Amino acid sequence: MVRGQTWKRQWLKWFALCLCLGLLSGNLTACSLRNATAQVPQLVLATPSGPATFNYPLNTSFYSVFGFIYEGLLETNGLTLELEPALAESWQISPDQKQIIFTLRDNLRWSDGKPLTSDDVVFSYQEVYLNPKIPSGIQDILRVGQSRAFPTVKALDSRRVEFRIPEPFAPFLRFVGGIPILPAHILRPGIQTLDAQGNPRFLSMWGIDTPVQEIVGNGAYVMERYTPSQRVVFRRNPYYWKKDEQGKNLPHIERIIWQIIESTDTQLLRFMSQELDAISVTPEAFQLLKKESKKRNFTIFNAGSETLSTFIAFNLNRAQNNQGVPLVDPVKSRWFNNRKFRQAVAYGINRERMRDTIFRGLGVLQNSPLHPDSPYYDPQVKVYNYNPNRAKQLLAEAGFQFNPQGQLVDDQGNPVKFTLLTNIERRIRPAMAAQIKQDLAGLGMQVDVQTMSFNPYIERLGKTRDWDCYLGGFGGGGIDPHSGFNIWYSRGSLHTFNQGSLPGQPPLKNWSVHPWELQIDDLLIRGSQTIDESKRKEIYREFQALTQEELPFIYLVNNLALEAVRNRVKGIAFSALSGPFWNLPELELAD
Percent residues over pLDDT 70 in the chain: 93
Q: Is the pLDDT of residue 15 over 80?
A: no
- Which has the higher per-residue pLDDT, 344 or 579? 344
Local confidence band at 478 (pLDDT 50, 70, 90 cut-offs): low
C-alpha 176/C-alpha 151 separation (Å) is: 10
Taking residues 197-206, report their average pLDDT: 93
| pLDDT of the residue at 477 | 57
Q: What is the value of pTM for the model shown?
A: 0.73
Phi (first) and psi of residue 201, to 5 degrees:
-60, -20
> What's the confidence (pLDDT) of residue 351?
98
Measured distance CA(73)–CA(83) in Å, rounded: 10
DSSP letter assigned to residue 382: -
**Above 90 in pLDDT, residue 306?**
no
Residue 447 has pLDDT above 60, yes or no: yes
Q: What is the pLDDT of the chain when averaged over all its residues?
A: 89
At residue 413 the predicted structure's pLDDT band, cuts being 50, 70 and 90, is very high
Residue 474 has pLDDT above 90, yes or no: no
The answer on pLDDT for 328 being more than 60 is yes
Domains and CATH numbers, the chain: 41-59+190-306+560-589 (3.40.190.10), 74-189 (3.90.76.10), 309-559 (3.10.105.10)
d(CA 520, CA 488): 7
The conformation of residue 424, written as its DSSP 8-state character, comes to S
Lowest mean pLDDT among 102-106, 374-378, 379-383, 433-437: 374-378
Tell whether the model's pLDDT for residue 242 goes beyond 70. Answer: yes
SS3 213: helix
Whether the ω angle into residue 251 lies within 30 degrees of 0, i.e. cis, is yes
* DSSP secondary structure, 280-293, as one string: EPPGGGHHHHHHHT
Region 487-514: mean pLDDT is 89
Name the 3-class secondary structure at 299: strand
Please spell the DSSP secondary structure of 187-242, one letter per residue: HHHHHH-B-TTS-BGGGGSS-TTS-GGG----SSEEEEEEETTTEEEEEE-TT---
Give the separation between CA 3 and CA 12, rounded to whole angstroms: 14
Cβ contact 370:540 at 8 Å: yes
Of the pLDDT bands very low, low, confident and very high (cuts 50, 70, 90), residue 501 is confident
- Reported as a single tens digit per residue, the pLDDT across 522-562 is 999 999 889 889 999 999 999 999 999 999 999 999 889 89
pLDDT at residue 96 in the model: 92
What pLDDT is recorded for position 356?
96
Confidence of residue 6 (pLDDT cuts 50, 70, 90): very low
DSSP conformation class of 296? T
Q: Give me the pLDDT at residue 63, please.
A: 87
pLDDT tens-digit series, residues 258-276: 999 988 899 999 999 999 9
